[in-house]
Every structure is written in structure tokens, then in C-alpha cells.
Amino acid sequence: MAQVTGTFDISTLLAARFQSVAAYGMDTIVPILQADLAAHNQIMLDLVSALADPTADRQRISGSSMTGDMIEVDEYGRAPTQKDKPGSTVAFPLKLFQYNVGWTAKWMQNKTPSDMATMVLGAEKAHRRMVQRELKRAFFYATNYTYKDHLVDNVDLAVKRLANADSAPIPDGPNGEVFDGSSHNHYNTAASLTAVAVQANIDDVVEHGYGGAVKVAINSGNEAAFRLLTGFVAYIDPRLIVPGGATTGVPNKRLDISRMDNRAIGLFGASEVWVKPWCPLNYEFAWDDMGPKPLVYRQRATGLTGLHIAADNIDYPLYAKDMEAEFGIGVWNRQNGAALYHGNVTWADPSIT
């Protein structure tokens, strides 16, 4: 009879509950943990890919358009020289996050592989939460800030948010629109949730040429109110029967009933509306999912990336005090994204912990 074969994964360690790490063999545990962390880090890249591109860059120049006017002159006239405007620097932070594990030699003698696997799974969960937190803060916080790149060379980096009237040059729109960097703002407010406010927030994205596949993210707590807006057309629940002879347009997409806090629920005009778990209550975020990503996910160009075990001695990779992740998330395409706060006429950053 053929033998059952497979691969060693984290479940193998979770099942090892009756012998110590030292007795089980660290040479066996190391490749299992390395494979699990590699899979986790690839999943994390996939999760952030909807809004952020991976990069090792720490700063870039955000371009601007050559703007000028044709001037009518007579036969002997000469128009003034047209001068271009330089772009502005956009930088991305690199932060160090730790999850303490305290794997000493004595710990290895007393704890089981199951204990070790449980701690790794806890670190992975903490890593996911921190990446999500940094992603939300990148575009829901409205104020630029300076970050000292202390993990590299202590250079001060100018980290920017979405377009926020900071006087940075803004490229012209696709139809020749010219934007005043000192007043153009993608952090919008409204006293309450209205169709006019939602459309204006979407227009802030589209007017910059980002209109291929605009999505609007909302909080599940705002879903009922959003469904009542004029211009919203809900996706059909597959559990319902659609009556024949309908005189109005019926969406050809069915409502996802598998998860209520992370699904597309319908259309607002030409934009698809999504309930997202990362969107705070009374806020929404609009972006073009087919355009250049609004954010970047910075990690080191060389060395360990993603979540990894910070070994005290590279020859004994499981003797470690911490698991670490170095990353930072910052806004790159400042125009492909607009946030709306519909709880007050004055913008307030949400509480993101």
C-alpha cells in the first residue's frame, strides 16, 4: 500500500504537544517556521496590493505639469518665457515593529513545538493588525509630517497625505484642468451623509483622470443609510427572486452574502460601493482601482523583509527575543484618492489604534 505523504506545516508543530522543542529537534522546526512565515508575508503583500505597491524607495519626486498660456502678440511682439514648475518630494517612512517571544535555551527545554507555533501565529495576527493600522492612517490622516529615517541614516523625510492644500504642485487634469495646490483638498466634509457629498468626493478622484474603476469604501455601520441615497442601485441578493418585466435597470451582479463587512453592495452612479472592515464609521474613501495605487508599502531593498524571527545568533535562528517587521506605508499618488467625513463640516482625523 502506498504511504501517505505530505508537507510539514505549522499544523505539524501545533500537534506536537508532548515533547519539548529541544527534544523535537530545532533542525526540524526551523524550515517549518520559515515556510510558514514566507507564506504569511506573501499573503500580506496580496492583502495590501489593492491600495499599495511594494517598494524599497524612501522618497520620490511627485511630478507636475508644464503650465502656461499662449499669448497673442503683434508682428514685433515677443511673449514672455514660460517657466515650468518643479515637482515636490514625497517620502515614505520605514518603521520597526516587534513582537516579543523570549525564546531562550531554557525556554526550549520546557516548552513544546505547539507553544512555539502558537506564538508565531500570534505574531502573524499582530503583524496583520499593524499593517492594516498603518494603511488606514496613511490616507485617513490629513496632516503631512516629518519622519526621521532612523533605521537608515537619520535623514528627515517629508511624508505627505492625499492632496491637502499644502501648496505642492498638482498635475493638470485630462481635459486641461488646472488645480491650485494651495486650496485643492481631497479631505472633504459634510454635516451628514448625502448623495451630493458622496458624488463630490468621487469627482475629486475622477477630475484627475482616475476614472477606470472607481470604488467607494464605507463602514458597515453606514451601509443602511448609504442604501437610501438617491443614485444608489443595490446588487441583488441571490436568495431573492427578481420579478420579470422590471422597468428599471437591474444589476447583473449578485450580492456577496458570505461576509457582511467586506463585500460590494451596489453602484453609486458608475462607482462600485464596498463595505470594508478597514473603513472607520462615518468616513468613506474613493479611489480608482485600475489607476496607479495611491499608496506604497516600503520595505528594505536587501535583507529580511516581512515578518521574521530576529535571532540573537544567525547560526541558531530560534534563539530569539523578538519577531520583527520593518515597513512603512505612505501616500504616493496623492490625487488617486479622496476621503469624506460626513459627521461634521470640519475635518477630524478618525481614531485609528
How would DSSP label each residue in 77-137? --PPPP-----EEEE---EEEEEEEEE-HHHHHHS-HHHHHHHHHHHHHHHHHHHHHHHHH
Average pLDDT of every residue of the chain: 88
Instruction: Assess if residue 120 is contained within a domain.
Output: yes
Instruction: Assess if residue 136 is contained within a domain.
Output: yes
Instruction: Assess if residue 71 is contained within a domain.
Output: no
Q: How many domains does the chain have?
A: 1
Cα-based angle 339, 345, 347 (whole degrees, multiple of 5): 45
Q: In this predicted structure, what is the pLDDT of residue 248?
A: 59
CB of 85 closer than 8 Å to CB of 64:
yes
Q: Which residue has the higher pLDDT, 167 or 24?
A: 167
Q: Check pLDDT > 80 for residue 23.
A: yes
Residue of 222, 232, 229 whose CA lies nearest to 269? 232
Which percentage of the chain shows pLDDT scores above 70?
88
Predicted TM-score of the model (pTM) = 0.84
Instruction: Assess if residue 167 is contained within a domain.
Output: yes
Overall average pLDDT of the 122-130 stretch: 95
Q: Check pLDDT > 70 for residue 137.
A: yes
Instruction: Assess if residue 69 is contained within a domain.
Output: no
pLDDT band at 4 (very low <50, low <70, confident <90, very high): very low
Instruction: Assess if residue 190 is contained within a domain.
Output: yes
Instruction: Give the residue numbers spanning the domain of 167.
Output: 10-62+86-242+249-341
- Cell numbers at residue 171, please? 498635475
Instruction: Assess if residue 138 is contained within a domain.
Output: yes
pLDDT digits (tens, 9 = 90+) for 142-187: 999 999 999 999 999 999 999 999 999 998 898 888 899 999 999 9
Amino acid 131 reads V
CB of 319 closer than 8 Å to CB of 313:
yes
- Cell numbers at residue 160, please? 505627505
Kindly report which listed range (92-101, 142-151, 296-305) carries the lowest average pLDDT score.
Answer: 296-305
Cα–Cα distances (Å) from 166 to 148, 207, 336, in that order, read 20, 19, 16
Instruction: Assess if residue 22 is contained within a domain.
Output: yes
